[in-house]
Amino acid sequence: MRILLLASAFNSLTQRVFAELRDLGHAVAVELALGDDQHLTAAVRRHDPDLIIAPMLTTAVPEEVWSACPCLIVHPGPPGDRGPSSLDRAVQQGLAQWGVTVLEAVAEMDAGPVWASADFPVPPDVGKSDLYRGELADAASRAVLLAVERFASGTYEPAMPATHTWQSYLRQEERRIDWPHDTTETVLRKLRAADSQPGVLDTFLGTEWYLHGGHPEPHLTGTPGELLATHHGAICRATTDGAVWIPELRPRRRPGDQARFKLPAVTALGNWPPLKGRGELREQPTTTESHQRTRGSYSDITYEEQGTVGFLRFHFPGGAMSTDQCRRLLTAYRETRTRPIDLLVIGGRRDFFSNGIHLNVIDAAHDPAAESLANIEAIDDLVEEILTTTDRLVVAALPGNAAAGGAMLALAADEVWCRGGAVLNPHYRLMGLYGSEYWTYTLPRRVGPEAAARLTEDALPLTATAARALGLVDRVVECGPGEFAREVARMAARLARSEGLPARLGAKKAARERDEAVRPLRAYRADELRRMRSVFDDPAAPYHALRSAFVRKRRPKETPEHLRTATREHPRTECPNGG
């Protein structure tokens, strides 16, 4: 079928639906709904699709569109649920189960007949965006594919739900934390319902901030609302019965201000002129400094061993890795090299694996060009350490999406295991970058030079299955987000016990030495960095404007050409590694 995706942004769910429908052989293009109905109607006419699907649309579909072509909307709530804050409310109310519905667009929002729906569990300790990219995306994918199948059958009659319930927009007044009265559990629920956007508005240290993300602190206590400590860039604040960690802050925008964006909390506070040099920003006492000993408390990097397998877990908000985060991860990685293990697994339990360098931190830096380079050098150091680890196997385990340098970071490992629902974007072009992380070595090594060139040029998202067929991924782990860590641990234990392991390590060492003799790693790095530096140092290079637009969430003026014309090419996946 010719399917047109209509979306407010080419976000994670839209990317996933796009990639999955293409895998099924449909001709899929994307048109962004950017506020101009006439433009949209003309675009739909031009595409002339059999079916329109809107995986994430924050505005109503114009009547000219849905009356001309069947249009299916993905609504993040069960059948009959309506309104703009469905998922936020489900998380804020602490529901254990929620749903997603694919319904037909009609004049009234979310009121059309239902083509398909699916339920999903809502884990109690997960933020809204993580849930959206995880359990919800899995359920939405099932429902969309079923709806497409039913539509294609030509015989299915969509049905109206028995009742409708309108849930209004969840305003900041309802999200607000009542510090003198709210328990840790209540504070966390409010933070998670607003994570990653819009955050919870709060007055704090004399300024208005949006608080982003929330994790429980098991030991520290204090006067409710008080800033107790900082750790790994996050701040800890007391509640009535404990404390919570808040990893990121965004100052509230005042009329006439520039757009403000999220930063690691300590960086945001440190940049705030009234707070510069004040004593509140002290690091948490060093008893939790070692990764082993941070268990139970907040830490964006942890290490654990099960038998002869080490698990170096990291979880950075938005998958973005700042210079500081890369350096801390490198230190933790080097510590694992002293451990008597046969296999090291790197990657978090859920959500993003990595999205490369931290564009927000770079944009907020005094000298963004210098910070861009520092961040690239720091992530390169980490990749190099992985590439030169020859005394044990390294597995990159991707619970969720990975993009740009974050996708290439995974390729440094010996094996890449990827959750079936993950979406990969192994390219840099959309940020105006040539790319680094030794991708010129690792990507062609895995997929061959032609596929490497195509992936980086097309700049389109891939499913884990398509990535496996290309040789980019070794194993697809078909499970829900909540089961991924357990499943990976099971697979890792089996791999560590396998008889062929010593021989494999020998072959790995020999291959590294051969590759080094053909072209040393430092040559790849120098070449990539030369091109990256020329971009960073050129104020007119598109990267600077693209980065600024990305961190400030400026909408593009029109649909990017490569999405609009995606149907013209449908690269069939082939596998040079025989996988």
**The Cα angle at residue 218 between residues 216 and 222, in degrees rounded to 5:** 90
Q: What are phi and psi of 441, to 5 degrees?
A: -90, -50
Indicate the residue among 44 and 403 with the shorter CB distance to ligand COA: 403
CB of 302 to ligand COA, least distance (A): 21
The partner residues of 186 in beta bridges, in order of sequence, read none
320 binds ligand COA (CB under 6 A): yes
Indicate the residue among 233 and 356 with the shorter CB distance to ligand COA: 356
- How many angstroms separate the first and last alpha carbons of the chain? 28
433 binds ligand COA (CB under 6 A): yes
Stretch that binds ligand COA, among 284-292, 317-325, 386-394, 534-542 (CB under 6 A): 317-325
The H or E element that residue 175 is part of is helix 172-175
Q: What are phi and psi of 320, to 5 degrees?
A: -90, 135
Q: Which of 252, 196, 243 is nearest to 223 (CA)?
A: 243
Binding residue (CB under 6 A) for ligand COA from 127, 318, 400, 481:
318
439 binds ligand COA (CB under 6 A): no
Binding residue (CB under 6 A) for ligand COA from 325, 425, 463, 559:
425
The number of residues that bind ligand COA (CB under 6 A) is: 23
**DSSP letter for each residue of 274-321:** GGTT-TT-PBPPGGG-STGGGTTS--SEEEEEETTEEEEEE--GGG-B
CB of 472 to ligand COA, least distance (A): 16
Dihedral (CA of 409, 411, 414, 417) sign:
positive
CB of 540 to ligand COA, least distance (A): 19
355 binds ligand COA (CB under 6 A): yes
323 binds ligand COA (CB under 6 A): no
Query: Which residue type does 532 have?
Result: M
Residue with tokens 């961040």: 375
**Site pattern 450..489 for ligand COA (x: CB under 6 A):** ----------------------------------------
Binding residue (CB under 6 A) for ligand COA from 428, 438, 439, 543:
428
Q: Please state, in angstroms and as integers, the Cα–Cα distance from residue 479 to each residue in 245, 256, 374, 537, following that order.
A: 29, 48, 37, 44
Residue with tokens 């739909």: 44
Token readout for 326 is: 């890369």
Q: How many CA atoms lie within 13 A of 300 on its CB side?
A: 30
99 binds ligand COA (CB under 6 A): no
DSSP designation for 429: G
Stretch that binds ligand COA, among 168-176, 268-276, 423-431, 516-524 (CB under 6 A): 423-431
* E runs forming strands in 389-482: 393-398, 402-403, 415-419, 423-425, 462-463, 475-477
CB of 453 to ligand COA, least distance (A): 18
Stretch that binds ligand COA, among 40-48, 85-93, 221-229, 353-361 (CB under 6 A): 353-361
CB of 259 to ligand COA, least distance (A): 12
CB of 421 to ligand COA, least distance (A): 12
Stretch that binds ligand COA, among 185-193, 297-305, 312-320, 340-348 (CB under 6 A): 312-320
DSSP designation for 354: B
CB of 505 to ligand COA, least distance (A): 30
Residues 185 to 214 in contact with ligand COA, rule: CB under 6 A: 196-197
Cα distance between residue 322 and residue 559, in whole Å: 29
Indicate the residue among 227 and 424 with the shorter CB distance to ligand COA: 424
Longest dimension (CA), the chain: 69
CB of 379 to ligand COA, least distance (A): 7
Cα distance between residue 71 and residue 5, in whole Å: 9
Binding residue (CB under 6 A) for ligand COA from 92, 267, 360, 559:
360
Q: What are phi and psi of 31, to 5 degrees?
A: -130, 130
Token readout for 579 is: 């996988």
319 binds ligand COA (CB under 6 A): yes
424 binds ligand COA (CB under 6 A): no
Are 359 and 547 within 8 A, CB to CB?
Answer: yes
223 binds ligand COA (CB under 6 A): no
Q: Please state, in angstroms and as integers, the Cα–Cα distance from residue 493 to each residue in 90, 310, 395, 468, 579, following that order.
A: 37, 10, 12, 22, 22
**Site pattern 9..48 for ligand COA (x: CB under 6 A):** --xx------------------------------------
Stretch that binds ligand COA, among 29-37, 230-238, 314-322, 517-525 (CB under 6 A): 314-322
Omega before residue 196 within 30° of 0, cis: yes
CB of 398 to ligand COA, least distance (A): 13
Stretch that binds ligand COA, among 107-115, 136-144, 301-309, 425-433 (CB under 6 A): 425-433
DSSP designation for 60: P
**Site pattern 113..132 for ligand COA (x: CB under 6 A):** ----------------x---
The set of residues, in sequence order, having a beta carbon less than 8 Å from that of 157 and lying 6+ positions away, is none
- Catalog residues that contact ligand COA under the rule CB under 6 A: 11-12, 129, 196-197, 262, 318-320, 355-360, 401, 403-405, 425, 428, 431, 433
